[in-house]
């Protein structure tokens, strides 16, 4: 393994999912739903396969039906208008969208300011692109992990090329507020920065939280690369269909990198996701309602088991603090948990450069059936 990647090794998700299989523990580690997405969308994929749509190399930027559907979704939900031909790119999941964006937009040595804790692929993709990551740590404040806008401002230097933002935020469940996003936008405009914003959990927001795309803020439409994924919104994480929307020059740059990573993304699933994007609002309302109930079941169970719970405003993860249990090392806690309680979770420390800062936090996924969550909670209470 070369020097750029040496620090990364195996992802925590592979390690913890393997531990779940080996021990038979309930897997609340890696974030994937235990119920597949809508039947009619699965049928659409089958139809595409059977009718021979997408079984040979689809167009590099994505099939026109899907690009049109992505543009229509951005217009309908957010009033953002993108040209499907020049401002939309289909990728092999959000993971490729992130990697291709950073590979396309960074010069070696450029600094990337990213919210910490950060989704694990960010650090590796920044490293592959030869960039330097500069984390700005979200810290607990009144029950939520909060972005300190002064720290964010202070992190920007003359070497900063872009801000890498994620809202709703994995793993903390924070949804950035209008005021926070406005401040990020002002900073980006003032310092002439690009912004790559990972909004894969855009539809998974609860209670009064509202997802606001950064691209809708003044001055942002032209400098923002927005990333979405069908994995989260439609519960098809195995399909690996993601996308980028941005101004033509940015999409063209990202497409140049994507060409040499995967060239194209799998064809038949693109046709099915195009149909998913046209689902009525009732689909999203139902998903949100069902996830909110499951969040509440898991959050209550974790609190009863003695964890401090940070109730997430978005995503399907809940971050906890294990110190009330007399624990302080999330890594050791998560490695022991399958044997000790029959449950798998993720130590948030893997998402930090400052491992000390992340040490006491542990993440549980609640995109699981209610009885699975109840059983996991019972096991944790009994531990």
Residue 146 CA, chain-centre distance (Å), reads 17
What does the radius of gyration of the chain's CA atoms come to, in whole angstroms?
Answer: 20
Closer CB to ligand GLN, 253 or 299, in the complex: 299
CA angle 374, 313, 196 (to 5 degrees): 125
Closer CB to ligand PMP, 119 or 364, in the complex: 119
Per CB under 6 A, the list member of 20, 31, 196, 272 interacting with ligand GLN is 31
Closer CB to ligand PMP, 206 or 341, in the complex: 206
Indicate whether 113 belongs to the interface with ligand PMP (CB under 6 A).
Answer: no
Per CB under 6 A, the list member of 101, 160, 170, 174 interacting with ligand GLN is 170
Closer CB to ligand GLN, 11 or 86, in the complex: 11
Token pair listed for 356? 């000390």
Q: Which residue sits closest to ligand PMP, CB atoms considered?
A: 93
Query: What are residue 59's DSSP bridge partners?
Result: none
When CB distances are held under 5 to 8 angstroms depending on the partner's kind, the choice from ligand PMP, ligand GLN, none that residue 166 binds is: ligand PMP
Q: What does the DSSP assignment read for 14-37?
A: HHHHHHHHHHT-EE-SS---SS-S
273 close to 279: Cβ distance less than 8 angstroms:
no
Q: Which residue sits closest to ligand GLN, CB atoms considered?
A: 31
CA–CA distance, 92 with 264 (Å, rounded to integer): 8
Indicate whether 137 belongs to the interface with ligand PMP (CB under 6 A).
Answer: no
Contacts to ligand PMP from residues 161-180, by CB under 6 A: 166, 170
Q: Minimum Å distance from CB 95 to ligand GLN?
A: 7
Q: Minimum Å distance from CB 307 to ligand PMP?
A: 21
Closer CB to ligand PMP, 213 or 342, in the complex: 213
Q: How many CB atoms lie within 10 A of CB 64?
A: 15
Q: Minimum Å distance from CB 305 to ligand PMP?
A: 25
Q: Minimum Å distance from CB 95 to ligand PMP?
A: 3
How many angstroms separate the first and last alpha carbons of the chain?
A: 39
Indicate whether 8 belongs to the interface with ligand GLN (CB under 6 A).
Answer: no
CA–CA distance, 52 with 49 (Å, rounded to integer): 5
179 close to 147: Cβ distance less than 8 angstroms:
no
Cα atoms found within 13 Å of the Cα of residue 99, Cβ hemisphere only = 18
CA–CA distance, 377 with 318 (Å, rounded to integer): 13
Note the residues at the interface with ligand PMP (CB under 6 A).
31, 93-95, 119, 166, 170, 198, 200, 229, 231, 237, 242
Binding positions for ligand GLN, rule: CB under 6 A? 11, 13, 30-31, 170
């Amino acid at each position: 393994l070369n020097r750029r990647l040496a620090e990364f090794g195996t992802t925590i998700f592979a390690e913890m999912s393997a531990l779940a299989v080996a021990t038979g523990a309930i897997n609340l580690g890696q974030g994937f739903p235990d119920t597949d997405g809508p039947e009619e969308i699965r049928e659409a994929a089958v139809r595409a396969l059977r009718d021979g749509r997408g079984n040979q190399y689809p167009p590099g930027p994505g099939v026109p039906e899907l690009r049109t559907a992505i543009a229509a979704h951005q217009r309908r939900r957010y009033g953002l208008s993108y040209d499907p031909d020049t401002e939309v790119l289909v990728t092999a999941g959000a993971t490729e969208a992130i990697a291709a964006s950073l590979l396309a937009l960074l010069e070696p040595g450029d600094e990337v300011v990213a919210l910490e804790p950060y989704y694990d692929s960010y650090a590796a993709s920044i490293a592959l692109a030869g960039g330097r990551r500069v984390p700005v740590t979200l810290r607990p404040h009144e029950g939520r992990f909060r972005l300190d806008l002064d720290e964010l401002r202070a992190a920007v230097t003359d070497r900063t090329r872009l801000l890498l933002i994620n809202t709703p935020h994995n793993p903390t469940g924070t949804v950035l507020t209008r005021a926070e996003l406005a401040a990020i936008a002002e900073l980006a405009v003032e310092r002439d920065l690009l912004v790559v914003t990972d909004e894969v959990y855009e539809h998974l927001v609860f209670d009064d939280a509202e997802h606001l795309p950064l691209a809708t803020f003044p001055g942002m439409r032209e400098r923002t690369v927005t990333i979405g994924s069908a994995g989260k919104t439609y519960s098809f994480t195995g399909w690996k269909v993601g996308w980028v929307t941005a101004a033509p020059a940015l999409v063209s740059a990202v497409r140049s990198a994507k060409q040499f990573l995967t060239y194209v993304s799998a064809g038949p699933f693109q046709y099915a996701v195009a149909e998913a994007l046209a689902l009525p609002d009732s689909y999203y309302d139902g998903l949100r309602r069902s996830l909110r109930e499951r969040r509440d079941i898991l959050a209550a169970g974790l609190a009863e088991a003695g964890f401090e719970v940070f109730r997430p405003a978005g995503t399907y993860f809940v971050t906890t603090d294990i110190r009330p249990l007399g624990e302080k090392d999330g890594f050791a806690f998560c490695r022991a948990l399958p044997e000790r309680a029959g449950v798998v979770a993720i130590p948030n420390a893997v998402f930090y450069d400052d491992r000390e800062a992340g040490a006491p936090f542990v993440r549980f996924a609640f995109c699981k059936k209610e009885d699975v969550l109840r059983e996991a909670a019972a096991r944790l209470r009994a531990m």
